[in-house]
Amino acid sequence: MAILEGPYDWLLKSKMKVGLHMLPIDIPFTKQDIVDAVSQGDDSFDNSVVLTLDGKVLVVTLDEAQTNPDNYAVRHETFDSGDDYIGLEASKDEKLIELIYNNLCIGWEKHKKLGRTSVSADGV
């Protein structure tokens, strides 16, 4: 969906602002990847939006995220079942997608900088 592409996406994809410095960073996912993952999620479970070690966006159950944390570079906050943050309607919420995208970008930068897995991306 072209409407989700913001005018500054090229900047976020090429650099992340950290303090007064601009650090190069390769963002391997797009807002559309988040839309696709969120739209396919099942809101009847507690879910987390995660990034795999190679930067693929997935929606996984809380149980999966907690059982296999080292499979994920970044984990966004948990969305409780029935709160409508996962599913087709949620994927149409541009503010939600923007929030998840920004948090995952910052989490990805932390993952790359620190080499850690399961970096928290809730409201960073």
How far is it, in rounded angstroms, from Cα 27 to Cα 97?
A: 16
Provide the residue ranges of all domains of the chain, joining segments of one domain with +: 29-120
The pTM of this model reads 0.79
Tens digit of pLDDT for each residue in 26-76? 899 999 999 999 999 999 999 999 999 999 999 999 999 999 999 999 999
Q: What is the pLDDT of residue 26?
A: 86
Q: What is the pLDDT of residue 24?
A: 54
Q: What is the pLDDT of residue 36?
A: 98
Lowest-pLDDT range of 2-6, 35-39, 77-81, 97-101: 2-6
Tell me: pLDDT of 2 over 70: no
Tens digit of pLDDT for each residue in 91-120? 999 999 999 999 999 999 999 988 898 998
Closest CA to 41 of 92, 86, 76, 75: 86
